[in-house]
Amino acid sequence: MTGNDRGADRADGAAAPDTAQPGGAALDGAEQGGTEQGGAAPLLRLIGAGKDFGNIRALSGVDLEVHAGRVGCVLGDNGAGKSTLIKILAGLHRPTSGTYLVDGEPVEFSSPREALDRGIATVYQDLALVPLMPVWRNFFLGSEPRAGFWPLTRLRVAEMRATADAELKKMGIDLPDIDAPVADLSGGQKQVVAIARAVYFGARVLILDEPTAALGVKQSGVVLRYVRAARDAGLAVVFITHNPHHAHMVGDHFTVLRLGEVELDAPRSELALDDLVHHMAGGAELDALEHELGR
């Protein structure tokens, strides 16, 4: 595990006020020793959650805890139920069985907006950014600060530009031109803009849907560093991926899904990268295949 030497400036990076999480320091120790899930109550919790679409069981009996200041990784192959799980957490689907608790209370979200109001922000793969629009306009899209009385209500343009610039700088993105269209940013930078936006608008839980899927090694590194920065700022991060290497670099807890069920659920201390890779690669099935092909 290299690259653990994150700059001190990054720790006070993201905007959340409750930065005083011991997470940062403790989790450095976690690289060797590992942390346990105990302690504070989980922000989000799924108990025996399942989701059926007609006759098709997309998800069944999933237990999941999401803690502040931790990165929980959800791994799984295509069709393992990752996206169904995200959609339940994000408020897009209601589980057909089991319970979804936020701050210990059972919830039934009827729209993503309600989840967002509880501080649960989801950054989807397609990011919900408008490519042709400048970065600062994208940053505030849908929640624009305004001044003046109708019909002269106008955008606080100077404030928007300064805030977007400052927030992105905190995340380590220094754009020479905040007016540049989002299309001019790299894939990693786009992810970070979307994450910074979610954090700025009060996210406590950040659900990242395959944020490194379409990125090269360098750009993935950029994103992973900000996953860590968000965690150190006290946010709970749910990191969905099919890449065990990426997961193992930032994760504190790992949940591997297979055919809609939890195949593996382990804290970092109990799981080496090789185990994770093995599980993701198909585990016993792969062993059998290797034997069969006999090379």
Partner 1 sequence: MGPAPALPAPGASEKELRAGRVPPLRRLAARPELGSLLGAVVLFAVFFAAAEPFRQAGSLATVLYAASTIGIMAVGVALLMIGGEFDLSAGVAVVTASLATGMTAYQFNLNVWAAAGISLALALLIGFLNGLILVRTGLPSFLVTLSVFLMLQGLNIAVTKLVTGSVSSRSIADMDGFDSVRAVFASSVPVLGTEVRITVLWWLLFTALATWVLLRTRAGNWIYAVGGSADGARAVGVPVAKVKIGLFMTVGFFAWFSGMHLIAASGGVQQSGEGVGNELLYIMAAVVGGCLLTGGYGTVVGAAIGAFIYGMTKQGIVYAGWDNNWVMFFVGAMLLLAVVVNSWFRSRAGGRR
Q: How far is the CB of 222 from partner 1 (least distance, A)?
A: 6
Burial class from Cβ neighbours inside 10 Å (0-12, 13-18, 19+) for residue 67 reads buried
Helix axes 217-232, 23-30, angle to 10 degrees: 130
Residue 43 vs 224, nearer CB to partner 1: 224
d(C-alpha 229, C-alpha 14), whole Å: 7
Q: How far is the CB of 50 from partner 1 (least distance, A)?
A: 26
Footprint of partner 1 (CB under 8 A): 1-7, 10, 113, 124, 126-133, 137, 140-144, 146, 153-155, 157, 172-177, 180-181, 183-185, 189, 217-218, 220-222, 224-225, 245, 248-249, 273-274
| 282 contacts 289 by C-beta, under 8 angstroms | yes
Q: How far is the CB of 152 from partner 1 (least distance, A)?
A: 9
Residue 134 vs 260, nearer CB to partner 1: 134
Residue 251 structure tokens: 């994760």
Close Cβ partners of 165 (under 8 Å, ≥ 6 residues apart): 136, 175, 178
Q: Which residues pair with 47 in a beta bridge?
A: 99
Residue 24 vs 50, nearer CB to partner 1: 24
Task: Using DSSP bridges, classify how beta strands 71-76 and 236-241 pair: parallel, antiparallel or unpaired.
Answer: parallel
Residue 28 vs 103, nearer CB to partner 1: 28
Q: How far is the CB of 127 from partner 1 (least distance, A)?
A: 7
Residue 105 vs 174, nearer CB to partner 1: 174
Q: Which of 36, 40, 35, 95 is nearest to 63 (CA)?
A: 95
Q: How far is the CB of 186 from partner 1 (least distance, A)?
A: 8
